[in-house]
């Protein structure tokens, strides 16, 4: 059930509106300001079209476009005018919002952060997330070093925000669910060749973790080089598609009601396919409490810093030089924050 595409809201439910916002070409601060105002106008429009909406979800690159520019003149800061505008419009419209910025990086100026921020209906930033898995070799962003974020969203619903390529790693969705997320938000700038993988992983992430996924990608052309696929998609906790646009129309809004109690009930009461629980309690029919070991070599190797796949020596593309970026020379600066 989607509440007639978000037009109705059940007691205990929340309505999320996913906006397939227009892809812009942004090379200058003036163009950045225009894109920011456009996003703010769409918050107001979402509020008008869906009076019951609780959260408005915008795609990755919603104000920066797909040029992958790291020009310091168009990078954002958390105390800059772009974030201030987003905070103001959320407070004005009394609605939550999720937005994307490319943020200046104090660790390495040439490699900004790809950041998603969640703002509540009072205009306060309640979640700040750095993209963990930039889409290599295409993206120049510094890899996120704060872990997967989990936060309480509207109505007390537990949420997590991941960005684009993050969703191709099942470990990201599992980490979010393990820490209590009932809704996984995914924002993207993907172009059409990724559509099939996008749809598959949105459904798989939901079913494997008994959670909702709410995902949205940019739409349209920047008038020069790029065209994004433009798709909003909502999936229920059994992997069933609840709402999906598939129309590629810029600035189209797709809404859906999600009910956290449906997630909580399944995670609490299910036996068959309660996989989030069963991962850590293998074979509990035969073994008291189930096996609590870690039988996965890749997990143990990753923790030990020796992750090496079977074909590692044969991997050809190992940096961004194929996309015109210089090969990096510095090691990763880990500021991992465990909450």
List active site positions.
Answer: 60, 131, 164
Strands 252-259 and 125-130, by their bridges, are unpaired
DSSP string, 140-173: -PPPP-S---EEE-GGG-EEEEEEGGGGG-HHHH
CB contact at 8 A, 172 and 191: no
φ and ψ of 64, to 5 deg:
-110, -15
| Closest CA relative to residue 210, chosen from 258, 148, 163, 168 | 258
CB contact at 8 A, 63 and 75: no
DSSP 8-state secondary structure symbol assigned to residue 264:
H
Separation between Cα atoms, residue 214 and residue 183, nearest integer Å: 7
Question: For 242-250, which contacts have Cβ atoms below 8 Å and span 24 or more sequence positions?
Answer: 242/1, 242/2, 243/2, 243/5, 243/6, 244/199, 245/20, 248/20, 248/219, 248/220, 249/20, 249/219, 249/220, 250/20, 250/21, 250/22, 250/23, 250/219, 250/220
**What is the number of helices (H) and of strands (E) in the chain?**
8, 14
Separation between Cα atoms, residue 302 and residue 323, nearest integer Å: 27
Separation between Cα atoms, residue 276 and residue 314, nearest integer Å: 34
Separation between Cα atoms, residue 119 and residue 56, nearest integer Å: 10
């Amino acid at each position: 059930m989607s509440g007639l595409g978000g037009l109705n809201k059940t007691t205990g439910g929340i309505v999320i509106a996913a906006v397939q916002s227009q892809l812009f070409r942004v090379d200058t601060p003036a163009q950045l300001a225009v894109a920011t105002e456009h996003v703010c106008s769409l918050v107001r429009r979402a509020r008008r079209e869906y009076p019951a909406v609780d959260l408005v979800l915008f795609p990755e690159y919603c104000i920066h476009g797909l040029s992958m520019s790291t020009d310091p003149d168009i990078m954002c800061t958390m105390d800059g005018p772009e974030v201030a505008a987003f905070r103001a419009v959320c407070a004005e419209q009394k609605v939550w919002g999720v937005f994307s910025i490319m943020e200046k990086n104090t660790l390495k100026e040439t490699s900004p952060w790809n950041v998603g921020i969640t703002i509540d209906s009072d205009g306060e930033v309640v979640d700040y997330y750095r993209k963990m898995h930039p889409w290599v070799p295409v993206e120049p962003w510094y890899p996120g070093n704060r872990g997967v974020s989990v936060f309480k969203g509207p109505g007390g619903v537990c949420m997590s925000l991941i960005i684009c390529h993050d969703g191709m790693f099942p470990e990201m969705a599992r980490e979010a669910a393990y820490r209590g997320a009932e809704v996984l938000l995914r924002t993207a700038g993907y172009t059409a060749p990724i559509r099939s993988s996008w749809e598959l992983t949105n459904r798989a992430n939901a079913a494997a973790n008994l959670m909702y996924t709410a995902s949205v990608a940019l739409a349209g052309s920047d008038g020069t080089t790029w065209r994004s696929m433009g798709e909003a998609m909502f999936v229920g906790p059994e992997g069933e598609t609840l709402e999906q646009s598939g129309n590629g129309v810029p600035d189209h809004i797709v809404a859906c009601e999600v009910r956290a109690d449906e997630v909580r009930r399944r995670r609490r009461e299910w036996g068959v396919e309660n996989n989030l629980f069963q991962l850590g309690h293998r074979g509990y029919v035969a073994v008291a409490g189930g096996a609590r070991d870690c039988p996965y070599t890749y997990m143990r190797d990753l923790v030990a810093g020796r992750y090496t796949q079977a074909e590692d020596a044969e991997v050809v593309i190992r940096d961004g030089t194929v996309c015109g970026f210089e090969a990096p020379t510095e090691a990763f600066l880990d500021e991992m924050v465990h909450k």
